[in-house]
Amino acid sequence: MKILILEDNPIRIEQFRKIFKYQNIIVSETIDNAKEWCKKEIFDALWLDHDLNGKIWEDSQEENSGYQFVKWLVDNGY
């Protein structure tokens, strides 16, 4: 299984690496990097952090949020 993980917390990234150690995972810490991956790969699953840039409980309307990434995916036919 190919999994894209959008996450910027190093502790959570390490947890994902342990949980999915037998899967093909790509970890992206930014939306821009995740977009680049999605332009060239098809993923079986996405795990998306809702608040990036080290913030906690970020407004989903902010540019760098998992919600905005999902909007981009939908708008681009992913």
Domains in the chain with CATH codes: 2-75 (3.40.50.2300)
- Give the side-chain half-sphere CA count within 13 A for 27: 16
The phi, psi pair for 37, rounded to 5°, reads -65, -40
What is the pTM assigned to this prediction?
A: 0.83
Work out the average pLDDT over 25-39: 95
**Mean pLDDT of the residues in the chain:** 87
Work out the average pLDDT over 14-42: 95
Work out the average pLDDT over 23-43: 95
Examine the pLDDT at 16 and tell me if it is beyond 70. Answer: yes
Measured CA to CA in angstroms, residue 9 lies from 13, 35, 44 at distances of: 6, 19, 22
In this prediction, residue 35 carries a pLDDT of 95
Distance, in Å, from the CA atom of 25 to the CA atom of 12, rounded to the nearest integer, reads 14
